[in-house]
Amino acid sequence: MQIYLPIAELPVNMFIIFGMGGAVGFLSGLFGVGGGFLLTPLLIFSGISPAVAVASTTAQVVASSASAAITFWRRRLIDMKLAAFLVASGIVGSSIGVGIFSLLRRWGQLDLVIAICYVTFLGLVGGLMLTESIRAMINARRGRPAPLRKPGQHNWAHGLPFKVRFPRSKLYISVIPIIAIGVGIGALGALLGIGGGFILVPALIYLLRVPTNIVIGTSLIQMTGTMAVATVLQSTTNHTVDGVLALILMVGGVIGAQFGTRVGAVVRGDQLRAMLALLVLAVGIRFLVDLVHTPAELFSLATLTGDTR
């Protein structure tokens, strides 16, 4: 069934978009990530302009992370104080990200920067995750237990000033790395239309040593808050959030996520992480190929408002 999108200004097949939302939702439920990094490229590939794809995915990420966050809220697995710090700095980051987004659109370099960011971050995170999960798999096969976090363990991030106590996470750390992470993820999220969960979760675990059981719920709150602000900012500055597109994606996404979570519960953690790492790497490589490979069409058109058609 074809449906005309009022902001993207083109008709799309509703079931294909719904299916995309569902498939990405399934993967995000399976791996516990937002899925924006998969959805934005899929939308661009199906003919929707990058500006609309990024902004509409932002709204979709709000729905999927809010849905998951409510589950964690019910189980009391959220450090609200840490989340508040992350959301506040994330909002600052979002504003910066949306500003860069409009600027790049005007210069005609938005697609390039999106592609380079995808290659860099997906390649980096995918590579790190893959090596980590393979090491864990080898350890598991040899019968060695995974190294546990020791309570007194510190790294450089714990030596900085402006220390704040986070009772829920049993942490007493400086706010500087927290704010830096929040601003960085917020800017990246607004720029790329991703929640940034796949960067935030490792950052919280390895940099701040937040307990693993609290990390996901806390990062979901950060994503919901930051992406909600990013959605409002995108629609006030760039007017590119397509509500109809976002709604179809949301419904598909939240349904898919429910099934993904169920499948995810029966698959081993290290195998899940290895699969996610391969997926992340594949998307990154796809973007890299597009950047380096000689394109069939060297020219592109954009109306003066900046919208690439």
Partner 1 sequence: MIRAAALACLALLWLGAAPARSEQLIVALSSEEVRITSNFTGTSITVFGAIERDAATVSRAEFYDVVVAVKGPPETVVTRQKERILGIWLNSASRTFVNIPSFYAINSSRPLSEVTTPQILKRFQIGADDLVFPVSADAGAVSSGADDEFRQAFLRLKREDGLFRSQAYGVTFPGTEIFQTAVQIPANVPVGRYVVMVYLFRDGALLATDQSEIRIAKMGFEQFTFDLAQNQGLLYGVICVILAVFTGWLAGVIFRRD
Residues of the shown chain interacting with partner 1 in the complex, contacts defined by CB under 8 A: 2-4, 6-7, 9-11, 59-60, 62-71, 74, 108-109, 111-112, 116, 224, 228, 231-237, 239, 241, 243-244, 246-247, 250-251, 254-255, 257-258, 291-295, 297-304, 309
User: Which is nearer to partner 1, 61 or 129 (by Cβ)?
Assistant: 61
User: Which is nearer to partner 1, 10 or 275 (by Cβ)?
Assistant: 10
Q: How far is the CB of 270 from partner 1 (least distance, A)?
A: 25
Q: What are phi and psi of 209, to 5 degrees?
A: 60, 40
User: Which is nearer to partner 1, 3 or 205 (by Cβ)?
Assistant: 3
* Nearest CA among 260, 303, 275, 267 for reference residue 32: 260
Residue 5, Cβ density class (10 Å: 0-12 exposed, 13-18 middle, ≥19 buried): buried
**In angstroms, rounded to a whole number, what is the distance separating the alpha carbons of residues 284 and 282?**
5
Q: How far is the CB of 176 from partner 1 (least distance, A)?
A: 29
Q: What are phi and psi of 12, to 5 degrees?
A: -130, 160
Q: Which helix (H) or strand (E) holds 165?
A: strand 163-166
Q: How far is the CB of 106 from partner 1 (least distance, A)?
A: 10
Contact 160, 176 (CB under 8 A): yes
Q: How far is the CB of 4 from partner 1 (least distance, A)?
A: 5
How many angstroms from the chain centroid is the CA of residue 273?
16
Q: How far is the CB of 269 from partner 1 (least distance, A)?
A: 21
In our burial notation (b when 16+ CB lie closer than 10 A, e otherwise), range 272-284 reads bbbbbbebbbebb
Residue 199 makes CB contacts below 8 A (sequence gap 6+) with: 121, 125, 185, 188
**In angstroms, rounded to a whole number, what is the distance separating the alpha carbons of residues 91 and 94?**
5
Residue 81 makes CB contacts below 8 A (sequence gap 6+) with: 166, 167, 168
Q: What are phi and psi of 76, to 5 degrees?
A: 60, 40
User: Which is nearer to partner 1, 165 or 239 (by Cβ)?
Assistant: 239
User: Which is nearer to partner 1, 177 or 217 (by Cβ)?
Assistant: 217
User: Which is nearer to partner 1, 38 or 245 (by Cβ)?
Assistant: 245
**In angstroms, rounded to a whole number, what is the distance separating the alpha carbons of residues 160 and 85?**
16
Q: How far is the CB of 226 from partner 1 (least distance, A)?
A: 12
Q: How far is the CB of 65 from partner 1 (least distance, A)?
A: 7
User: Which is nearer to partner 1, 7 or 203 (by Cβ)?
Assistant: 7
User: Which is nearer to partner 1, 179 or 190 (by Cβ)?
Assistant: 190
Q: How far is the CB of 240 from partner 1 (least distance, A)?
A: 8
**In angstroms, rounded to a whole number, what is the distance separating the alpha carbons of residues 146 and 132?**
11
